[in-house]
Chains A and B, each alone.
Chain A
């Protein structure tokens, strides 16, 4: 070898099956996750062509997008057309011999929450799923990225993808975060600084002291929002935090000297080069929240919203104006104090146990404001059971929250949980696009603590003032 290799070089080299005559590479996919929304057409394609799966044991099916969250749910509770999609996943899994975590399975949940819990993702793997937030799983040191349905079909049939080597970048985060702020505040701050590039950072390594200091759950949250910054995959090199997490979910690997050494070696060598090197010195002193209609339109809760004059070009000003109109807000005023009608805690961004704990700490002994409808949906059945063992369900229920069954729920607004037109929602999810949580919904992306504070106060509030 001799030459210095980056984390990306190492993962790429170890998965490069062959180069095609046209110069593209065949990359092996170690783990393939499929769900109810993006897979039915891929399985139909296979069936039409008479094709099967090369490695069904590397594929896992999880129902999450369409599943209802009502207690005691059955397929009859699904939205019209939903039961057909959930049923198609189950039928396809059976027909093609794939492990299936359907609505009734005791480990069901959101695919990006379930996969790490079940030890399906380990450092150095290539992982794909027909879902853009697959980048979440890069927190475990895996190269994980979202694909389209045609690619889902390609992976099902061949266990590979055809691609050109993507551009790789590294973002180093240093600096300080005040106590009480979370990985979500950090992720929103990064989006605010980096913007929604829309320009191919195929692989983004997240590095630096702030990243190293995060728990595994915090890292999953940070990587989850990588796609919103234009990075298809966001990856953190494995360290002690990673290996400790892995020891709990994959105890079988703890005894393998070979595996431990290989995972430890998954880091960029001294002098390794990326196509782009980015650095951000973070000075985070207040909760961050989106005010507009894309995830980079972020402010601190007490800062004035940006004035229209900050936009140089006319069409950029129009864009700001459209965001203000849609969100029913005005430049110059802070978000703090804005009345809220909905609060949602959950999703692949913030539906893990530590997220529920953060919110419950604030909520304990308090009541949801009468003007607010609040919903908490654990990211998986395992999270739900763990939370119930701690009595968090009672904390939420006593305060006036609805306690749901696991699923994507009000993040994507497809399963019957949605925000009504014009309602303002503080949500721990990942997208505030127009209509994302329902037609006309006004979504503010925030941390679990910020969402909890909004539920209690009935207005957007700095949670540190409540604590």
Chain B
């Protein structure tokens, strides 16, 4: 996805959001770019090219996932089968949403993203991999590109842990906080 500012409206346009379910959103992934007005695949779009069919990684530029907070954008990636997105930066809400759902957002410096983009464009479909176990991206040239990820969030991702369950263990502390706030600043309730 060789562009900056890929927004969540582009990732999943409005008409695919009309649902109360998390599932089935893959068909709307990049729907506006992927299909013409009659719903036929647009021939020039990357996802419709043979070389990129069954892709599991998206490579983009800067500010990927900016815009609306719709978590549907992340669910659509997962439903389609995308496991990781590599970009030089992300929209902050998309980044959080991705980690919470097990989609790996990988931040690499812009020059490394540009190098990968050149390789992928020159040899469409060339293999590229992302390893969460050792925090590296391996490009088509075989070179490793290390990336940083918050250690705690990496651990949660690897374990598939449920933040709500962890928090609910602290229910008593939350209740105590609320009682204290009620005494000191009741207008915040």
Query: Do the beta carbons of B93 and A158 come within 8 Å of each other?
Result: no
**Using Cβ atoms and an 8 Å threshold, which residues of chain B touch A51?**
164, 168
Per-residue CB contact flags for chain A residues 12-42 toward chain B (1 = under 8 Å, else 0) read: 0010011010111010101000000110110
A132: B residues at CB distance < 8 A: 67-69, 93
Q: With an 8 A cutoff between CB atoms, is B22 at the interface? A: yes
A54-94 contacts to B, CB under 8 A, are 54-55, 57-58, 66, 79-82, 84-85, 88
Q: Are B10's CB and A435's CB within 8 A?
A: yes
Query: How many contacting A-B pairs (Cβ < 8 A)?
Result: 183
Knowing A17-B177, A294-B5, A439-B37 are in contact, say whether A80-B18 is a contact too (CB < 8 A). yes
CB pair A198 B5 closer than 8 Å: yes
Which residues from chain A contact B163 at a C-beta distance below 8 Å? Answer: 154, 162
Contact among A162, A250, A294, A414 for B17, CB-based, below 8 A: A414
Q: Tell whether, in the assembled complex, residue A294 and residue B7 are in contact, meaning their CB atoms are under 8 Å apart.
A: yes
Q: Are B32 and A435 within 8 A (Cβ)?
A: yes
Q: Mark B143-178, 1 if CB is under 8 A from A, else 0.
A: 000000010100100000001101110110111011
When the two chains form their complex, are residues B69 and A158 in contact, meaning their CB atoms are under 8 A apart?
A: no
| Cβ–Cβ contact A435 & B164, under 8 A | no
Pick the most buried of A23, A80, A198: most chain B CB atoms within 10 A of its CB: A198
Cβ distance A96 to chain B, nearest Cβ, rounded Å: 15
Q: Assuming A26-B167, A414-B14, is B90 touching A38 (CB within 8 A)?
A: no
4 A-B pairs closest in CB distance? A198-B63, A40-B20, A81-B18, A148-B97
A binding-site residues for B, Cβ under 8 Å? 14, 17-18, 20, 22-24, 26, 28, 30, 37-38, 40-41, 44, 49, 51, 54-55, 57-58, 66, 79-82, 84-85, 88, 122, 124-125, 130-132, 146-151, 153-154, 157-160, 162, 164, 196-200, 202, 230, 232, 250, 253, 256, 258-259, 262, 294, 315-316, 318-319, 322, 412-414, 421, 431, 433-436, 439
**Chain B residues at the A interface, C-beta cutoff of 8 Å:** 2-5, 7, 9-10, 13-15, 17-22, 32, 37, 61-64, 66-71, 74, 89-93, 96-97, 100-101, 114, 150, 152, 155, 163-164, 166-168, 170-171, 173-175, 177-178, 181, 185, 187-189
What are 9 A-B pairs with beta-carbon distances under 8 A?
A: A85-B18, A122-B187, A150-B97, A253-B187, A259-B187, A315-B61, A431-B7, A435-B32, A439-B37
